[in-house]
Amino acid sequence: MVLYAQRPLRALLQLVADLIALAWIYLWVKVALALRETITALERPGELLAEAGSGVSEHMDTAAGHAEGIPLVGDEIAVPFTQVGEAGTSLTNAGTSFQESVAELAFYLPLLVAVLALLLLAATWLPARARWIRAANAAGRTKKLDPAARDRLLALRALTSAPTRKLAGVHADPAGAWRSEDQKTIEALAALELKRLGLRRR
């Protein structure tokens, strides 16, 4: 499989583009991981809130238990402690909920950042790279053909893919010359197609 052009300058440009693509992926993966660490650090306030609420609930439940042991008025005295304990439970629940929300955000937001960066790459660099590899390998498979047939096929590809300005530089009527089997024009068009792909004529 042909992955890079045979002409040095074109191959160098392709290699640089591939390295930039890899650097882009590495950069945004690092950004996503750093963002995850930053968001995960926000769980600490939730942990402190949950711990504080748990401590309040535990102490108030203990105090309420002692208060209930007081004869006659124990149940009434225990009510405020019970209420404060319930408030502590609410704090614990709030802290736990906050941690869960932060954990979800720490998962989805970095993932979204990484996916968007990769989608941008997939919409720009990847299609162009895939098109070139497909075209270069298709041109390479023509080596199995008779030289004259190969030139005709490559010339036809040039007629459908090369810019009009370059086609006009080969012949005033390149399509007509191809149809009339003008060998010189066909060879020039085949060379133009190979040059467009960065491949050498064998």
Condensed to tens digits (0 to 9), the pLDDT of residues 22-54 reads 999 999 999 999 999 999 888 888 777 777 777
Question: 53 with 91: CB under 8 angstroms?
Answer: yes
Could you give phi then psi for residue 42, rounded to 5 degrees?
Answer: -75, -5
Question: 147 with 154: CB under 8 angstroms?
Answer: no
Assigned token pair, 201? 């004529």
Question: Residue 49's pLDDT is what?
Answer: 77
Map residue 54 onto helix, strand or coil. Answer: helix
What predicted TM-score, i.e. pTM, was given to this entire model?
0.71
Assigned token pair, 91? 């704090």
Picking from 56, 61, 51, 58, the residue whose alpha carbon sits closest to that of residue 98 is 51
DSSP letter for 3, please. -
DSSP letter for 173, please. S
pLDDT, one tens digit for every residue, the chain (202 residues): 889 988 899 999 999 999 999 999 999 999 999 999 999 888 888 777 777 777 777 766 676 666 566 666 656 766 676 676 667 777 778 788 888 888 899 999 999 999 999 999 999 999 999 999 998 888 888 877 888 889 899 998 999 888 889 988 988 898 988 899 889 999 899 999 888 888 887 6
Question: Residue 22's pLDDT is what?
Answer: 95
Map residue 72 onto helix, strand or coil. Answer: coil
Question: Residue 81's pLDDT is what?
Answer: 62
Q: In Å, how far are 7, 20, 44, 103, 115 from 23, measured between CA atoms? A: 24, 5, 33, 28, 15
Q: What share of residues in the chain are helix, strand, coil (percent, to 5)?
A: 85, 0, 15
